[in-house]
Structure 1
Amino acid sequence: MMLGCNSALAAAPALGAAFACGAMRALSTSAAALDSLSLGADVPLLVRLPSRPWGAAASLSKAEVQAAAGKAPPARISVVRDCFAAFDQPHRPLNQLLKPLGPSQLAAAASLASDPAARAVVDCYSLQGDRYALEAGPGAVATDLLDFLKAHRQRVALLPDVALPGLERATPVVGTTKGVRQSSNEVLMVAPTAFGFNEQAAQDNSFMHAAAKPGEGGNELTRQVLREFAGLHHALTQVAGVKVNLFEHSLAHGTPDACFPNNWFSTHPAGEAAGGVKQSTLVFYPMKCPNRAAERREDIIKVLRTKGYEQEYDMAVHEANKKYFEGTGVLVIDRINGVVYVDISERADRALAEEWTQRMGYKELVAFRSSDLRGKSVYHTNVMMAIGTGVAIVCADSVRDAKERQHLLSSLRRTHEVVEISLAQMDALCGNALELEDGRGLPVMAMSTQAYNAFTEDQRRTMRRHVASLVHAPIDTLERVGGGGVRCTLAEIF
């Protein structure tokens, strides 16, 4: 791979090289530095033309393309345009937008995805004689640059700035180059078709508020929660492009909290945890409440097994000894760097946390205790923190022990930009967010509308430096009665 920003750059290493293009060119007909980016023989050469195109052209001269590419004219090119830049604004050199990392791997400026005004588009041309003719068919004109990269099977790491030194050590880059994903494009959800207040779970979940039990009060509670859940499902599938394996439950199942499936199983691909996970693994977990243990339905397990996991790890056997460890409710996992965070509670046994860390091949366990505004133990780790590819959310104030708090923050800051939330924001379930991959393979942060509104604008801006979008939907009733947010409803499938 080579970024042809100038003739000197041709000799620079493609991987890990610092890019050294000159100042931005003016958007005029004046001559400009060479600006092209090769992503391999199977991908059209990305080109910035010497003068600004004001849209796609029916054809381009071969000489004009060669002036931009600085090499023998390729068979196909894709001209990059800043279509939302004003007429007098300089356009961005390609080295401010993209940086090759390896075969079919590159870093991209997160603003290309998160800021509509910063989007770039491409027009595709094929060489015909002495001119490049605009290609016909879908995707030939004004295709979003990130969609173009997806169509050409490029694995993209979103970063706030692709020109920063030491880029190869950034967690998104490490994940991309090693083929380890923090987030998935596929989840399992259970629609709350028999939802109701769960008295068993309320014993140690202070986020829950009493309401009708399943089947009581004319089922209006269930219907209201279902309307909210349907809106969340729509936002995930139709807006974000997430694949959802959707199940339901009935009163006969006796599982009022079945819509929180992430607590009883998790999935892990081979190579996760910096190579610590040797085989793809399906894990089952011991649940504290009997009616939550009943959520481990054989019909769902059979579907999970069709995914072809190489091994199963059954921790549910510990229920007999009244030792509990409730899945990715108590595990907040840095899948790329191999660090797992656990808030020790009645639902998170420390010995089981240590067993999981060792058995799964993770490098480090960061354990602590946290409490909420009411001074009660936080029942699940995923209520007070979340980890994405490049950004982490944490309520450090909930960890009262100073040494534990400092260890937690220092561990997160080694690998992520950290958004610290207050106890009040934790109460609004700001910590109960989950990074997913959208339909383009880009990270998005899913959360409830209550959580979204409780974040400050600066906090939302920080998250958007690392994700393509913040996806949210109102699930107020589910949060108030069930005591869990969007993250709790999502069990990732890897």
Structure 2
Amino acid sequence: MMNLISNAFLVVRPLEKRNKLIDEYNLIIEGLRSKGINIIELTSKEHLLSTKYLCSGHWISSLGKGVVVVYPMSSLGRQQERNDLVFDLLGRKGFKINDVVDFTEAENEGFFLEGTGSIVLDRLNCVAYVSVSKCSDEELFVEFCEELEFTPVIFRSSYSDGLEVLHTSRILTVTESFSIVASCMVKDKKERKMLSLQLKKSGRDLIYISEQQVENYVTDIKQVKNDKGDSFVVMSKSIFDSLYTDQKNTLGKHGEFLVFDCREIERQGKHSIGSILNDIFS
């Protein structure tokens, strides 16, 4: 069985030229470390074109037992985010890497699977979820599940204007003890029912959210633990402000709230705090 909550979190330090972003980032990292949460910083490459480069989980993820997966990205700008220095960094921090599963050759064929953006994992039950899109290829996802022994759950989702949801993590998050889903954006009734049933079967508290809450990054809530085993529910202020009272009450059962100002992260990258905290497992 895989670990449910990681020992540490890999983060990418913003480019120094983005002054407002790095100021905001520094306050977040200081706040997390003050609670005993282990943060490993990877220096970002210079001259990155992508605005999503803080989301290292899109190109690399750790699955525990020394297994690391590297993913194919959907654009040249995003492919340039990959940084081989991460392996040396993790080694220096005491994390062993026994096996690297590399799917990046799929880029040559035009197939993409953008890591923890495309794939949402239920580690306890070894279930993997994907919302199929141009960034989240179905056949490549099935290959991932076969290689790493996850049961696949496949569906499609879209916004009210008909545009497909590119990343599964935009409408779904699964933590140790709760799940958040915008099932209203899964338009096929059979797929929507199948998704809800699978999430309920896990036994976690299940929180349903609206498309408007998706736009406010509510699935970017992150459950983390510190070096003492204390549990925290991490989110941005915009996420907190968009939650209903009953949703806050449910989330409050699962850890102390840590709420950070993430306005620049959300404005520049169109993602929030959960996406920049990349779980690293020993």
Give the TM bin, normalised by the shorter chain. over 0.9
Q: In the alignment, does 2:57 pair up with 1:302?
A: no
5 Å matches for 1:424-443? 424-443=212-231
Distance 1:425 1:293, change over 3 A: same
Q: Percent identity?
A: 24
In the other structure, the counterpart of 1:181 is 3
For 1:413, the aligned partner's letter is: K
Q: SS of 1:301's equivalent?
A: helix
Q: For residue 345 of structure 1, what is the aligned residue in structure 2?
A: 133
Pick from 64, 67, 70: which aligns with 1:269?
64
The structure 2 residue matched to 1:231, chosen from 10, 23, 27, is 27
Give the conservation status (yes or no) of the 8 Å contact 1:182–1:389: yes
Secondary structure, counterpart of 2:218 in structure 1: coil
Q: CA deviation at 1:477?
A: 2.1
Contact 1:384-1:432 at 8 Å conserved across structures: no
Deviates more, 1:470-479 or 1:284-293: 470-479
Query: Relative contact order (C-alpha < 8 Å, sep 6+): which is higher?
Result: 2
1-structure distance, mates of 2:252, 2:170 = 21
Q: Please, which of 386, 394, 410 is the counterpart of residue 197 of structure 2? A: 410
8 Å Cα contact 2:42-2:89 kept in structure 1: no
SS in 2 for 1:313: strand
1:378 is matched with which residue: 152, 161, 165? 165
- Structure 2 CA distance for aligned equivalents of residues 309 and 463 of structure 1: 34
Q: Deviations over 1:69-117 (max 9, x none)?
A: xxxxxxxxxxxxxxxxxxxxxxxxxxxxxxxxxxxxxxxxxxxxxxxxx
Task: Provide the rounded CA distance (Å) in 2 between the counterparts of 1:480 and 1:269.
Answer: 32
Match of 2:46 among 234, 251, 258: 251
One-letter code of the match for 1:258? Answer: Y
Instruction: Assess, with a 3 A threshold, how the Cα gap between structure 1 residues 365 and 440 changes in structure 2: closer, same or farther.
Output: same
| Residue pair 2:51, 2:268 contacting (<8 A) in 1 also | no
- Distance of 1:429 and 1:224 partners within structure 2: 20
Q: What is the TM-score of this pair, normalised by structure 2?
A: 0.93
Describe how 1:18-97 pairs up with structure 2 within 5 A. none
Give the match for residue 239 of structure 2.
451
Q: CA deviation at 1:253?
A: 4.9
How far apart, in 2, do the equivalents of 1:452 and 1:440 lie? 25
Residue 182 of structure 1 contacts residue 335 of structure 1 at CA under 8 Å; is this kept in 2?
yes
Deviations 1:228-254 (A, max 9, x none): 212221222113x21111122253455
CA contact (8 A) 1:262 1:329 kept: yes
Give the letter aligned to residue 185 of structure 1.
Answer: N
Report what 1:72 is aligned to. Answer: none
Matched, 1:193 2:15: yes
Q: Deviations over 1:176-206 (max 9, x none)?
A: xx6x431113011012225xxxxxxxxxxxx
- Residue identity in the other structure for 1:300: V
Contact 1:232 1:473 in 2 (8 A): yes
Taking structure 1 as reference, are residues 242 and 366 closer, same or farther at Cα in structure 2, changes over 3 Å only? same
Label 1:325 to 1:305 Cα distance change in 2 as closer, same or farther (>3 A). Answer: farther
Q: Who is 1:19 aligned against?
A: none
- Counterpart Cα distance in 1 of 2:140 and 2:201: 26
Letter in 2 for 1:436: V
Contact 1:373 1:424 in 2 (8 A): no
Residues 237 and 260, structure 2, Cα contact 8 Å, conserved in 1: yes
Structure 1: runs of 5+ lacking an equivalent = 1-177, 195-218, 271-279
Rounded to whole Å, the distance in 2 between the matches of 1:265 and 1:354 is: 18
What is the CA–CA distance in structure 2 between the aligned matches of 1:349 and 1:411, rounded to whole Å?
21
Conserved in 1, the CA contact under 8 Å of 2:3 and 2:64? Answer: no
Taking structure 1 as reference, are residues 304 and 185 closer, same or farther at Cα in structure 2, changes over 3 Å only?
closer
Structure 2 CA distance for aligned equivalents of residues 447 and 461 of structure 1: 15
Is the Cα–Cα contact under 8 Å of residues 45 and 81 in structure 2 kept in the other structure? no
What SS does the aligned partner of 1:431 have? helix
Equivalence map 1:201-212=2 (5 Å): none
Q: Which SS does the other structure have where 1:365 is aligned? A: strand
TM-score (norm 1): 0.54
Task: Tell me which amino acid in the other structure corresponds to 1:267.
Answer: S
Match of residue 139 from structure 1: none
**In the alignment, what sits opposite 1:51?**
none
Is the partner of 1:354 in helix, strand or coil? helix
Distance apart, 1:481 and its partner CA: 2.3
SS at match of 2:219: coil
Structure 2 unaligned spans of 5+: none
Hey, what's the Cα distance between the residues in 1 that align with 2:213 and 2:276? 19
What is the letter of the counterpart of residue 325 of structure 1? L
Deviation at 1:256, TM superposition (A): 4.3
Correspondence 1:289 to 2:75: yes
Q: Which stretch has the larger CA shift, 303-312 or 321-330?
A: 303-312
Larger radius of gyration: 1
> In 2, distance between residues paired with 1:316 and 1:418?
34
More helix by share: 2
Write the deviation string for residues 108-155 of structure 1: whole angstroms up to 9, x where unpaired: xxxxxxxxxxxxxxxxxxxxxxxxxxxxxxxxxxxxxxxxxxxxxxxx
CA RMSD of aligned residues (A): 1.7
Residues in 1 aligned to 2:53 and 2:87: alpha-carbon distance in whole angstroms = 14
Aligned to 1:393, what secondary structure does the other structure show? Answer: strand
Q: Distance in 1 between matches of 2:58 and 2:45?
A: 19
- CA–CA distance in 1 between the matches of 2:53 and 2:24? 15
What is residue 242 of structure 1 aligned with on the other side?
37
Separation of aligned partners in 1, 2:21 and 2:47: 19
